[in-house]
Amino acid sequence: MSYLLFIVSLAAYCASAAFYTVFFIGRKKKIRTIGRGLFFAAVALHTINIIARYLEAGHTPITSIHEVISFFAWSIACCHISFRWRYPVKNFGFFASLLVALLMLVAAGAPHKIMPLPPELRSWLLPVHASISIVADGFLALAAIGGLMYLIQERQLKQKRFGFFYHRLPSLETLDTLNQHCISIGFPLMTLGMIIGTFWAFQLSGHRNWSWHSKIVSALITWLLYAGLMHLRFAKGWRGRQAALLTMLAFCTTLLTFFFLLIKGGS
């Protein structure tokens, strides 16, 4: 039942991305309204899918590649919806819907069988740590999208090519503000997730058995990059192109950490 809901939500996400793409090209508001409605419906169905999978598995469904990527896509979608209510950004839904649809397709290609939860993961810290960390990644993904949009628009302005993308993307100031707000939410959540994860790791293995796994090193590098970005933004007044580039670099390390997490079995 839960996988059927996943397939239906996947179809709705893909349809939403298709309508957003048509709107991005043709700029007909009616098409955008349909795309937005499909996106909201997809998120609702996806939420029911996650709840149903939780009831079927008997534990938080974030322990396999399929589940982790699906939850990541859901978190980006929810972060986008919550963010757009306060900070609507022109055509941001187009980029967000494409990313979510792509992630859902990747999740669909992974084995969806419900796996038993290993004994060491049977803790209340699992849903807390994993949920906070993945939601943080959702906001950081939105910041990276904003950084990409900034670089595209800046290139249009520098080359004085006021064509296709120029008229479809928001101003540089709007994109820079978007980037800053997303990181201001995502970085504290990432920090909280790392603190809980570190506490849990010490609880499981103890100080003597502590080891620097690849995913721990990658997570630390990612945190340092975002910490540096926060410092440069708020203490040094960094804005614009430099902030956009560093945001995208930091998100690449986030994806690397995500990859190490997945090859460990999603645990």
DSSP single-letter state for residue 238: -
pLDDT in tens, 52-96: 999 998 888 888 889 989 999 999 999 999 887 777 888 999 999
Token pair for residue 222?
A: 């990612």
- Distance CA(68)–CA(27), nearest Å, equals 34
Contact 189, 132 (CB under 8 A): yes
Contact 47, 142 (CB under 8 A): no
Q: For the chain, what are the domain ranges?
A: 1-117
pLDDT tens, per residue, the chain with 267 residues: 788 999 999 999 999 999 999 999 988 999 999 999 999 999 999 999 999 999 998 888 888 889 989 999 999 999 999 887 777 888 999 999 999 999 999 999 988 888 877 777 777 788 898 889 999 999 999 999 999 999 999 988 888 877 788 888 999 999 988 888 999 999 999 999 989 888 877 776 655 555 556 667 778 888 999 999 888 888 877 788 888 999 999 898 888 877 776 666 544
